[in-house]
Chain A
Amino acid sequence: EAGVAQSPRYKIIEKRQSVAFWCNPISGHATLYWYQQILGQGPKLLIQFQNNGVVDDSQLPKDRFSAERLKGVDSTLKIQPAKLEDSAVYLCASSSGQGGQETQYFGPGTRLLVL
């Protein structure tokens, strides 16, 4: 079974530029998550999708971050414009269900450096 795929793996941009990350979840997984992991911290949930609907985006900085999951499969997370404090690893995860007991399967992440 293929795991969660993410691209690119690494990205370096200047502040105020825009950037987009792509995620393809495990086949058949209805729930998709984007987490932000700042160096030295645990991952923090940015947004959760159930199929193509948003379940929780309470911690997404909506003035600069946006995410979509068209057709309920793969997803894109965008930052525009980027700030220095956005430097982090962006992790995508998926699960088959949406109860709190579900195991989330994580991709390798995209490491973003904002200069």
Chain B
Amino acid sequence: AQSVTQLDSQVPVFEEAPVELRCNYSSSVSVYLFWYVQYPNQGLQLLLKYLSGSTLVKGINGFEAEFNKSQTSFHLRKPSVHISDTAEYFCAVSVPRSGYNKLIFGAGTRLAVHP
């Protein structure tokens, strides 16, 4: 079975500061990795995903994440945040199996950007 742990439930940060949201996963098989963002009263939107290849993945809105297989981590980073980045961020995994597309989510990290 797979599981996802997001190490911080809340991350406060000042505008224009860098941020890192941490995600660790557990799985006995290879997985795909995702970061989704949820703005208030909206559905989830894909930020980026890692399927294979380069371990550094770039996504939308200036976010990037690095896959570290030995540490089973997939941390999300942004060098300079904006007020508009205030949202809930979810890390998720899925298993590469044909016909099966279940996403397993972490509990989320609430990013609060302050002026």
Taking Cβ atoms with an 8 Å cutoff, the residues of A that contact B are: 3-4, 31, 33, 40-45, 48, 50, 55-56, 91, 93, 95, 97-109
Q: Could you say which interface size class chain B belongs to?
A: 20 to 34
Q: Please tell me if B102 contacts chain A, counting CB pairs below 8 Å.
A: yes
A43 contacts B107, C-beta separation under 8 Å = no
Binary flags per residue of B74-115, CB closer than 8 Å to A gives 1, else 0: 000000000000000010101111111111111110000000
Taking Cβ atoms with an 8 Å cutoff, the residues of B that contact A are: 4, 31-32, 36, 41-46, 49, 51, 90, 92, 94-108
A101 contacts B49, C-beta separation under 8 Å = yes
**A-chain residues with CB within 8 Å of residue B45 when the two chains form the complex:** 106
B43 contacts A95, C-beta separation under 8 Å = no
**B-chain residues with CB within 8 Å of residue A44 when the two chains form the complex:** 105
**B-chain residues with CB within 8 Å of residue A43 when the two chains form the complex:** 44, 90, 103, 105
The chain B residue with its CB closest to the CB of A108 is B43
A42 contacts B105, C-beta separation under 8 Å = yes
Give bound CA distance, A103 to B35, whole Å.
11
B43 contacts A109, C-beta separation under 8 Å = yes
Q: Known: A42-B108, A108-B41. Contact between A98 and B46, CB under 8 A?
A: no
A100 contacts B4, C-beta separation under 8 Å = no
Q: Known: A98-B101, A102-B101, A103-B49. Contact between A42 and B107, CB under 8 A?
A: yes
Give bound CA distance, A56 to B100, whole Å.
8
Give bound CA distance, A102 to B107, whole Å.
21
The chain B residue with its CB closest to the CB of A107 is B43
